[in-house]
Structure 1
């Protein structure tokens, strides 16, 4: 997730006490297959988490991981769009909101070999999608933000650290038949709805968050 060596996941909570959800970010990188803007040709970049992972093993996921301390002070080539920043700050202070975006760009490079923009990330290419909190019953929990960027915002060749296996561009309409977690399926549904919106409407739509796979709620300011 965060370094060349795979870090340990958050420690499990003591019995009877819910684990504290760690702040995390994932990036949905998408493209039109073949470069043609034809309906039904949207692809998303995903990879399989290895069987040895404690959290979501053998599941297709987006590049992402928890926020590192260094993400809070890391430089960027460009800063967040006003609407993306406002959406992230709905449930996070400004410094954490920016760190979430930095984490998404960093994890993209570590796990896929692709860089968002160049040596320093171009945060203005990121759009906010939604948030998901792992249920309290889970021994490992994340408060994850899902961000979106077009494939042309990234550069490089697919490689990565090996944490994600079988990295591939997958057709949006077919990925739900593959081994994805229920919450990933819900996020993909939100992404499909986001794509269908006029671009101007995306920045003003109601924000959504999930507590588990079923509990879909409107986001409110902290």
Structure 2
């Protein structure tokens, strides 16, 4: 039997669930993956106007892409990208923040300076860190948030929805990750924003939404999936 207790890591802002066996066995932390950001992760020390800029020596600027996105400093964002600062998971962060301008800038930079191949790898890629669900793609996160403008930007830059089978394969055998991957995928494909972006005909949008919600039994299937996986964990 496993029970869950919520803990917060002292070294970062991520929550986790600590899984402990009642017989005193070993425990492990399972990350609570973010799909949205509700607060800036920029430290107080970096928001004093200088953003970690070394006065008199701009080459030693240590500002991160995440910090300038949080502050909507899009001029600095372009500068950091042009300096070769790695994008890493910051496209996911920009989407979670709902920063349309940041998403546009990152996608445009990749298209102009890195080429279509690398652009498509990024807009269809999965996170490299542990803050976001490892099966998530930028389009899934944007669609789940029902952010039509960001969904449109991503699609124009080559983003496509992966198949459910691919997401579950990437999730591996971890029951919790597989459950979260399934839920995120189903919420994304049923997103009105994604349906509007992919289907220009209003009647087609209505039919597609009806098919996703009714014929695929989205709600019932999701509940059954969750119940089954809870039984396996317990």
User: Which has the higher relative contact order, 1 or 2, with Cα contacts under 8 A spaced 6 or more apart?
Assistant: 1
Q: Which structure's residues are more often helix, by fraction?
A: 2
After TM superposition, the score normalised by the length of structure 1 is: 0.26
After TM superposition, the score normalised by the length of structure 2 is: 0.25
